[in-house]
Structure 1
Amino acid sequence: MTQAASSPAKRVPFLTALAFAATALPVAAVGIAMAVYLPRHYASHLGIDLAVVGAAFFIVRMIDIPVDGLLGWSMDKTRTPWGRYRLWTILGAPILMLGVYFLFLPPAGVGRNYLIFWVLILYLGNSILALSHAAWAATLAPQYNDRSRVFAIMTAVGVLGAASVLAIPIVNEARGVSDAGNVAMMGWLIIALAPITAAIVVWKTPEKIAPEAPGDEFRLRDYGALITRPAFARILLADLCLSLGPGWMSATYLFFFTDSRGFTTGQASILLATYFLAGIVGAPLMGRLAMRISKHRTVMVATTLYSLTLVSLIAVPKGNLMVAIIPLFIAGVMASGFNLLTRAMTADIADEIRLEHGKERSGLLYAITTMTSKIAGAFSIGLTFFVLSKVGYDAAEGARNTAQAIHNLELVFLVGPVVFVMLGGACMIGYGLDAIRHADIRRQLDARDALYDEAPIVESLTGEAAIASLPPRE
């Protein structure tokens, strides 16, 4: 199979985008399992103190954050006949599988150190897959609107990965099986998904390595210049808030819906599946809306409607599954646009930086963006579990909480997500890198790249790549 250099208006074929999105399946499955089920499993079924579990996840996130920067920098420096991000996808899958095996199928009597070590290994593998996937997407779809479309497809496919995890407790409850075995089944599912999906992406997706200018090597102090870049700083702050809000909700979700709203674990999982499955509708909807009103305005619309819908959950009658499905579906539609849009906007920033400096920085930019998500992940579990332990809520299996403790749980569940999500939307007020500005950037990049049409396009595992470079800038 041979592919010519892309014209400015060329869209990524749907089947190519769908095959490329396969990596989102295990990444999303890990995300939902780690955010909702695994902390509760270690606290309730394995008997580790709630605050200790929260602290363990926080510690790992803090260790893991600088690793992402090194990974992103390394990815951008990688230039092989197999491609740049393709190689990292191959490396990430087995590391993720190793971490999942030991974390989701732990031996009896595990403690904090065991939890910290294997969460760290799992996050390393997951980071490699997620970073290489996002950075590869930025080069696969170079156009402003097509990026919204490709990232929407990735998000929709990721929803299926999350839904596959959510289906496990639902099926087990219907079979009368204890939910103590849910996490082990989730682990085996992810272990099966990781190599299959990585193989599909690696085998079926072309990869173009953009030409680069010699010199202008990235230095440590350049991190500061990237982070303080006005457009990127807005994205980072927005991404932090838009990860912290839903992450906060996820960390307290099962506690809220079982102890406050009177649902069983299986029913709560049905509602959560509704929330995530709504992304199959929401992701394309958010992508299409972004094509019409721009990405940053779509973020503001989504965050406002999400917050209003979340507040309405407190009015849901206890145990009424059919009523609860409605606000969970609407919230899921809106939430599906959060990461989709900020990741697509990060790709636009990468184009702007490549135009200025002649170097690919997608991997590094996504690493920095992922750092904000990991900071949010650390606090969403560590902080919320700490707060719950301080407001009198007891998470132990079979514990009887007072009415005041349940009321405090409700406040913790609602206030944190609404505040942070609305802050995330506010970050987009006055954002300047819109479709018009990006079209001008792509016009200049395409004109420059056209002078060096030997930039490699790796079509398959056996494709050859001639590494091209630009002459030094004057």
Structure 2
Amino acid sequence: MATLYRSQGLADDTGHARPKSQLNGWRLAGFASLSAPIYAAQLPLAVHLPAIYAQQFHLSLGLIGAIFLAERLWGAFADPLVGALSDNTRTRFGRRRPWIVAGAVIFGTATAALYFPAAQLVTPLYMGAALFAVYLGSSMISIPHLAWSGEISGAYHERTRIQTFHSVVGAVALLAVLILPTIIDQLNPANASLKLAAIGVVVLGSLFIALPLTLRSFPEPAIPTAPRQRVALGGTVTILLRDPLLRRVLLSDFAVTVGQSTRAGLIVFFVTFYMGLPQWASGLYLFQFIFGVVAGPIWAQIGYRIGKHKAAVAGELVQVAINLGLLFVVPGQIGLLLVLTVAQGVAQGSGNLMLRSMVADVADAHRLRTGQDRTALFFSAFSLSAKAGTAVAVGVALPLVAWLGFDPKAVTNSPEALRGLLWVFALGPAIAHLISAALVHGFPLTQARHAHIRRALADRDAVPAE
């Protein structure tokens, strides 16, 4: 395993020195490439799939919404179970690889069924089964993959670097699935099947390329732990909620997701109705993601200098300032909104990146305290915060702007209704990001504290060998 590493150069316990890179960058790129199909599948499932299945295959929107809601509820229970089972898996191939391979088979098969459907086979049952299988396969890939990413290095800053690779790969994949439908809309706007197939090609193509690269990138490290414990589904949720450090990270991620989802859910309404620039509605969202590709490396450098939790706080406060800046945009004038969109792209994902890097450190602290390695279980909790945050954002923001008088079906909205839309669009995310910053401010698991935890784990793990 030593051949995979370069010079050590670890930072000291002051937490101010950036360590030299240890893990080979090409291997890290191959390892992180498996994030591409997962990210590429997420946005189209929520944005394009419901409309295409409703228009092309004549399924009712109410039924499609019920299927998506049922999956969200099922995923809230299934994802922690996948994490707990992966942590307790013991095979000669490792703990993570078997789950990733099995998940890839399910995910790939279901993706083919969902994006290349035979019209005569499409029914609500067909869509529901394929959608559930896609999300199950996605969880079986992403949760062990993220857990593995937290295990290939125990170095504080190196974990940030690993998550940065995930972030960049994900941003590129999202950009690809945003650009393709936009191009098809310009060339052949009536061909929904072509749009569906193009997205499917991106997802399946990236899966076939990335899977062998990830499996061959790094060996799975052996993690000495106490004897495995059988934990019921309810017990896994209790474990997640009981750990105070994990609870702070998850609540912060929940707040981040609420802010991001509120903005995403209202941006088309805001640009179209408040700004009076409907021709910019889709373009601005795409523009934001173009600059989002460089966000990960920028925030990684900030994290190296000031530490993860401080970088997370800084990123969230930048988001607060950007969203408050929306209060000063002038209808019909794109200048300031364009500047804020670029800033949003550069700042986006800063909190997500740092929080996911922090969870591996929290799992180390938990293992030192309990003797149990629950890295995958801890990473699975992000699906809970993401799904809950999305549901709260949509469930609060849309009814709130309607209560304030905004109606997207109306020919014209009153000035009061449009101001209500502005206040919710700007202040909702600003408040959510401010709460996220407050939750991780003063986070006690610093680089110095984590170095002590890693040394204690190394000393304890060495005892049986002696």
Q: Normalising to structure 1: TM-score of the pair?
A: 0.83
Spell out the pairing of 1:42-191 with structure 2 (5 A cutoff): 54-105=65-116, 107=119, 115-175=127-187, 177-178=189-190, 180=192, 181-191=194-204
Spell out the pairing of 1:242-321 with structure 2 (5 A cutoff): 242-263=256-277, 267-313=280-326, 315-316=328-329
CA deviation string 1:167-191 (max 9, x = no partner): 1133224436348453442233212
Cα distance change of structure 1 residues 263 and 142 upon mapping to structure 2, 3 Å threshold: farther
Deviation of residue 36 (structure 1)?
Answer: 3.8
Asked if 2 retains the 8 angstrom alpha-carbon contact of 1:159 and 1:279, the reply is yes
Counterpart of 1:80 in structure 2: which amino acid? T
Deviation of residue 353 (structure 1)?
Answer: 1.4
| SS of alignment partner, residue 206 of structure 1 | coil
Q: Which has the higher contact order (CA 8 A, sep 6+)?
A: 1
Cα distance change of structure 1 residues 101 and 258 upon mapping to structure 2, 3 Å threshold: farther
Cα distance change of structure 1 residues 251 and 72 upon mapping to structure 2, 3 Å threshold: same
Asked if 1 retains the 8 angstrom alpha-carbon contact of 2:292 and 2:345, the reply is yes
Cα distance change of structure 1 residues 217 and 100 upon mapping to structure 2, 3 Å threshold: closer
- Among 17, 21, 25, the residue aligned to 2:28: 17
d(CA) in 1 for partners of 2:136 and 2:396?
A: 22
- 2:241 equivalent in structure 1: 227
- 1:343 equivalent in structure 2: 356
- 2:250 equivalent in structure 1: 236
Count of residues paired in the alignment: 450
CA deviation string 1:84-112 (max 9, x = no partner): 21222212223223333444456489676
| SS of alignment partner, residue 293 of structure 2 | helix
Asked if 2 retains the 8 angstrom alpha-carbon contact of 1:23 and 1:194, the reply is yes
Cα distance change of structure 1 residues 222 and 166 upon mapping to structure 2, 3 Å threshold: closer
Counterpart of 1:403 in structure 2: which amino acid? N
d(CA) in 2 for partners of 1:316 and 1:224?
A: 45
Identical residues among aligned pairs (%): 27
- 2:459 equivalent in structure 1: 447
Runs of 5+ consecutive residues of structure 2 not aligned to the other structure? 11-20
Asked if 2 retains the 8 angstrom alpha-carbon contact of 1:86 and 1:202, the reply is yes
Deviation of residue 236 (structure 1)?
Answer: 1.3
Counterpart of 1:83 in structure 2: which amino acid? G
Asked if 2 retains the 8 angstrom alpha-carbon contact of 1:59 and 1:378, the reply is no
Asked if 2 retains the 8 angstrom alpha-carbon contact of 1:57 and 1:382, the reply is no
d(CA) in 2 for partners of 1:315 and 1:49?
A: 40
Deviation of residue 67 (structure 1)?
Answer: 0.3
Query: Alpha carbon RMSD of aligned pairs, Å?
Result: 3.4
Counterpart of 1:332 in structure 2: which amino acid? G
d(CA) in 2 for partners of 1:162 and 1:247?
A: 15
- 1:460 equivalent in structure 2: none
Deviation of residue 161 (structure 1)?
Answer: 0.5
CA deviation string 1:288-330 (max 9, x = no partner): 2122222122222111211221343465566766654321221
Counterpart of 2:83 in structure 1: which amino acid? G
Deviation larger for 241-250 or 39-48: 39-48
1:197 aligns with 2:210: yes
Cα distance change of structure 1 residues 21 and 28 upon mapping to structure 2, 3 Å threshold: same
Deviation of residue 79 (structure 1)?
Answer: 2.1
- Among 364, 368, 377, the residue aligned to 2:381: 368
Asked if 1 retains the 8 angstrom alpha-carbon contact of 2:5 and 2:23, the reply is no
Counterpart of 2:109 in structure 1: which amino acid? L
Runs of 5+ consecutive residues of structure 1 not aligned to the other structure? 453-469
- 1:207 equivalent in structure 2: 220
d(CA) in 2 for partners of 1:391 and 1:111?
A: 38
d(CA) in 2 for partners of 1:114 and 1:388?
A: 35
Asked if 2 retains the 8 angstrom alpha-carbon contact of 1:8 and 1:446, the reply is no
Cα distance change of structure 1 residues 53 and 316 upon mapping to structure 2, 3 Å threshold: farther
d(CA) in 1 for partners of 2:432 and 2:51?
A: 23
| SS of alignment partner, residue 12 of structure 1 | coil
Counterpart of 2:310 in structure 1: which amino acid? R
Asked if 1 retains the 8 angstrom alpha-carbon contact of 2:271 and 2:281, the reply is yes
| SS of alignment partner, residue 92 of structure 2 | coil
| SS of alignment partner, residue 204 of structure 1 | coil
Counterpart of 1:224 in structure 2: which amino acid? T
Deviation of residue 347 (structure 1)?
Answer: 0.4
Deviation larger for 436-445 or 89-98: 89-98
Cα distance change of structure 1 residues 257 and 13 upon mapping to structure 2, 3 Å threshold: same
